[in-house]
């Protein structure tokens, strides 16, 4: 059991929760889930936790070195009377992400379907593991958000494309020598929803809201029950900040707001016109 798994084990024990650890060593007896011929492989989780009143929960622990790229976010959106030089209407921030394996997501989903046990991925930042902040994701929520992009399609059908931010690469399954020898890794953004709602994401279908749990502050498995399910892009309305800022841009440039009232369309609108908006504001000062 590695350090991250021990952290989760202590968290479960402190809840007075019964749990079983599944050894991940190669050729260990539990490895039989991978060696049944003629059947798709199941990815075994690290823990099976048994909770009174909740039932069984499976947890697969992942400890990664979080990476980051720049992305556009909107925050402290000003009113029309505020100082345009304060530069508080938007900002370029570092967005954390990790590399996940698509075959492992599929394998965990098969485990969930075969066992009928809700299966969670617990992601820890290797550089901040001592902070005990864990990001929990249901395996089926991740699968639902990316299956339209990564599932096999007929050769005659155009391959779908998506990316998180305008300057980020398109999402694809590819190897990464710094992570492992797996060839089906993809970028997976890590951020709680209260902050992610300010992002200018290109495609909200690829964002999965986590349950963020502090493993050392008296939290429990019951906190996972409140996780926000995946919300389709068409159901997401622009945030108040996006709406106000986009309205200001449209008024200044004398152009129409997007007809589609979604977070994605308003994000595209702001990214497309913000440079012209700033130029007009600068001349007015």
Q: Which residues pair with 18 in a beta bridge?
A: 50
Q: How far apart are CA 149 and CA 52, in angstroms?
A: 38
Q: Count of alpha carbons within 13 Å of 91, Cβ hemisphere only?
A: 12
pLDDT on residue 38: 62
Q: How far apart are CA 139 and CA 236, in angstroms?
A: 22
Rounded CA-CA distance 250/211 in Å is: 36
pLDDT score of 117 more than 50 = yes
How does DSSP classify residue 78? -
Each residue's pLDDT tens digit, 188-242: 999 876 666 666 666 678 888 888 888 887 788 877 754 433 334 344 667 767 7
- What per-residue confidence (pLDDT) applies to 122? 95
Burial (CB count within 10 angstroms: exposed 0-12, middle 13-18, buried 19+), residue 128: exposed
At a CB cut-off of 8 Å and minimum separation 6, what does 238 contact? Answer: 246, 261, 262, 263, 266
Domain ranges of the chain: 3-232, 237-285
For the stretch 135-180, pLDDT in tens is: 999 999 999 989 988 988 777 778 888 888 777 889 999 988 777 7
**pLDDT exceeds cutoff 80 at 7:** yes
Largest CA distance in the chain: 73
Does the pLDDT value for residue 264 go beyond 80?
no
Pairing of strands 119-125, 55-64: parallel
Q: Which of 64-68, 219-223, 260-264, 272-276 has the lowest mean pLDDT?
A: 260-264
Asked whether the predicted pLDDT for residue 119 surpasses 90, the reply is yes
Give which of 230, 210, 206 is closest to 148, Cα–Cα: 206
Q: What is the pLDDT of residues 32-90, one digit of tens each?
A: 555 566 667 788 899 999 877 678 899 999 998 899 887 766 544 444 444 444 444 45
The pLDDT, as a whole number, for residue 205 is 80
Q: How far apart are CA 57 and CA 10, in angstroms?
A: 16
CB 197 within 8 A of CB 239: yes
Report the range of poorest mean pLDDT among 106-115, 201-210, 245-254. Answer: 201-210
pLDDT of residue 23: 79
**pLDDT value for 108:** 93
Total length of the chain: 285
Q: How far apart are CA 221 and CA 49, in angstroms?
A: 9
């Amino acid at each position: 059991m590695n350090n991250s798994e021990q952290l989760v084990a202590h968290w479960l024990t402190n809840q007075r929760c019964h749990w079983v650890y599944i050894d991940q060593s190669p050729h260990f007896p539990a490895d039989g889930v991978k060696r049944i011929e003629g059947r798709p492989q199941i990815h075994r989780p690290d823990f099976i936790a048994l909770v009174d009143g909740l039932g069984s929960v499976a947890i697969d622990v992942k400890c990664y070195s979080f990476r980051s790229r720049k992305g556009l976010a909107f925050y402290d959106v000003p009113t029309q009377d505020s100082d345009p030089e304060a530069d508080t209407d938007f900002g370029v921030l570092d967005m954390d992400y990790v590399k996940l394996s698509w075959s492992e997501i599929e394998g965990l989903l098969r485990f969930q379907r075969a066992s009928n046990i809700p299966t969670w991925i617990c992601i820890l930042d290797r550089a901040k593991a001592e902070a005990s902040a864990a990001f929990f994701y249901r395996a089926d929520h991740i699968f639902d958000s990316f299956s339209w992009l990564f599932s096999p399609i007929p050769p005659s059908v155009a391959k779908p494309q998506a990316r998180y931010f305008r300057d980020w690469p398109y999402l694809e399954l590819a190897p990464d020598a710094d992570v492992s020898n797996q060839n089906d890794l993809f970028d997976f953004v890590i951020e709680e929803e209260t902050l992610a709602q300010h992002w200018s994401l290109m495609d909200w279908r690829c964002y999965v809201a986590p349950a963020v749990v502090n493993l050392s502050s008296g939290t429990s498995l019951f906190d996972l029950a409140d996780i926000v399910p995946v919300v389709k892009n068409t159901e997401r309305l622009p945030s108040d900040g996006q709406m106000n800022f986009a309205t200001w841009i449209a008024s200044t440039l004398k152009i129409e707001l997007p007809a589609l009232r979604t977070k994605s369309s308003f994000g595209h609108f702001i990214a497309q016109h913000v440079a012209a908006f700033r130029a007009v504001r600068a001349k007015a000062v």
